[in-house]
Chain A
Amino acid sequence: MRISMDVELKDIPGQLILALNPISELKGNLISVVHHHEKRTPRGTIPVQLVFEIDHEKLNTIISRFEDSGVEVIRSGEERFLEHGAIIMIGHIIHTDIQDTMDKIDSTGFAEVVDLSLSMPRIDKPSSALLKIDAVGKKEMNDAMSLLKTVAKEKDLLVIEPIETELM
């Protein structure tokens, strides 16, 4: 299962390693670390957000190892995707294996295609698709978009992504 966990580290060197070691030792798969080094909690600790995959029965072991080494677990839960994005593709979407295109995103571990709307006017005409993508964070969303663009380029599909600036 995929876990997202907020932990707090003491503000002394070497603390991040304490938090990352148990995950790899227990054969977990670290997906992302958001380490706000410049941020401090009111308690003077450094907040870190971890996302990793781990066998269900090992989760409690990880948590107790954290606590033994002074890494405080504030929240732990099954991962929620924080970023939602949309992207449009135009071209011979079915012929070029839409399943494979979506699998490429899903197999990243940090993003997945959660919805697909497809519009096919005629079999010989290019179709259009809107894919909704969820990702663990902003950076992961950008990575997923770049990956989609690379795949689409290989398949000669036009990709229309959202503008970057969120104004207002």
Chain B
Amino acid sequence: MVIGMKTIRASIIGFGAVGQGVAEVLLRKNEYLKNIGLDITVVAVADSRSAAIDPDGVDLAKVLSHKRTEGTVGSEKLTGLEIIKNIDHELVIETTPTDINAGGVGLPNMLAAFEHGRDVVTSNKGPLALKYRELAEIAKENGSNFKFEATVGGAMPIINLTRDILAGNEILSIEGIFNGTCNYILTRMMEEHASYEQMLAESQELGIAETDPTYDVEGIDAASKLVILANSIFDIDATYKDVDVTGITKITPESLMLAQDDGYVIKLIGEVKKDLIRVGPRLVPVGHPLAVGGTLNVASVQTDLAGTVTITGRGAGSIETASAIISDVISIYRT
């Protein structure tokens, strides 16, 4: 053991694409973490049906292969909520499915974590889009850290950029592309002069769009992310219902051609500033920093001192999203 090494006991609740990505990154970056004085010991992992538990640290490689071969993480029957309530640890990594209507299991999980004084790092948008205020307050009352970079823009570090790196600036507005699925469909419709239905089918085949794509293509996902930005950066007490949302299902290939002839692309743009949160298709000049293609996400931050700062990156993916989670974890415990 290195002098000054800090041991953090963590649970991973939800072991799908993101939860597994986190496990892989923890394995891959074990050495790196030790070098900066952090020993992240995962004491429990849960999916919807099973759990793996070991107070001395579960073997993540074994849990990963168990999940891949058996479909479960282990043989214990504890639920995620029971783990959060009953097993001693400092950090809950919450990566269960997003439920935008009721908050899903994520909401009680996060509340329980705070009530037990644990820190939470999450990629789960649902609870934040519904109850940001409540969660932030309970976290504060209990002295818990609450970080959620992965909920907005995947690997693209928009929250920590605006809150930490641009500290001192007033953030006037944020505008960008916050849904990679919509960006992919619109980009391909333009390239192929194809209909929305055709390119939706293609993205479903490639695993870019879900079987039920409603959440992405109707702009709901982008709207949830804007709500998180509105609350965490603009201090606006907004929920999902306050967003003016239009999706991409009505976009025609002809409209994309007309736009192109006039020097524009059409993108699903999310915009947040004081008094305004909206998502809808917009014309973006070709060559403009927001005119990124494929599944990329992008965000432009307008500030009073730094002017406009634009970042782009991968908005989804197992390892990419785990990157945002790991960076949140490190920022909490690094001294």
Residues of A within 8 A of B (CB): 86-88, 90-91, 117, 119-121, 125-130, 132, 158, 160-165, 167-168
Contacts and interface: CB of A to CB of B under 8 A. Distances in A.
Given A163-B283, A168-B288, A88 B259 contact: yes
Given A90-B252, A130-B259, A130-B262, A163 B289 contact: no
Contact of A130 (B258, B269, B289): B258
Interface in B208-263: 246, 250-252, 254-255, 257-259, 261-262
Contacts of A90: 250-252, 255
Interface residues of B, number: 30
Given A160-B282, A163-B290, A165-B308, A128 B255 contact: yes
A127 to B, nearest CB: 7
B284 interface: yes
B252 A126 contact: yes
Interface in B300-316: 300, 302, 308, 310
Contacts of A162: 264, 282-285
B282 A117 contact: no
A128 B308 contact: no
B283 A128 contact: no
Given A160-B266, A163-B175, A165-B302, A126 B250 contact: yes
Given A163-B290, A167-B308, 9 more contacts: A88-B283, A90-B255, A119-B255, A121-B254, A130-B255, A130-B262, A165-B173, A165-B300, A167-B310
A162 B177 CA distance: 14
A20 B259 CA distance: 41
A75 to B, nearest CB: 31
B74 interface: no
Contacts of A132: 262
Contacts of A91: 250
A160 B255 contact: yes
**Most B Cβ at <10 Å: residue of A132, A158, A161:** A158
A165 B175 contact: yes
Nearest to A162: B283
Contacts of A121: 252, 254
A98 to B, nearest CB: 14
B154 interface: no
Nearest to B307: A167
A128 B281 CA distance: 14
A161 B283 contact: yes
Contacts of A163: 175, 269, 271, 282-284, 288, 290
Contacts of A127: 252, 254
B314 to A, nearest CB: 22
A129 B288 contact: no
A119 B290 contact: no
A31 to B, nearest CB: 26
26 contacts: A88-B255, A88-B258, A88-B259, A90-B250, A90-B252, A91-B250, A117-B261, A119-B257, A119-B258, A121-B252, A130-B255, A130-B258, A130-B259, A130-B261, A132-B262, A158-B250, A160-B251, A160-B281, A160-B282, A162-B264, A163-B284, A165-B300, A167-B288, A167-B289, A167-B310, A168-B288
A63 to B, nearest CB: 39
A168 B300 CA distance: 11
Contacts of B285: 162
Nearest to A130: B258
Nearest to B246: A158
Contacts of B173: 165
B140 to A, nearest CB: 34
B283 A86 contact: yes
A117 to B, nearest CB: 6
Given A162-B264, A163-B290, A129 B258 contact: yes
A86 B288 CA distance: 16
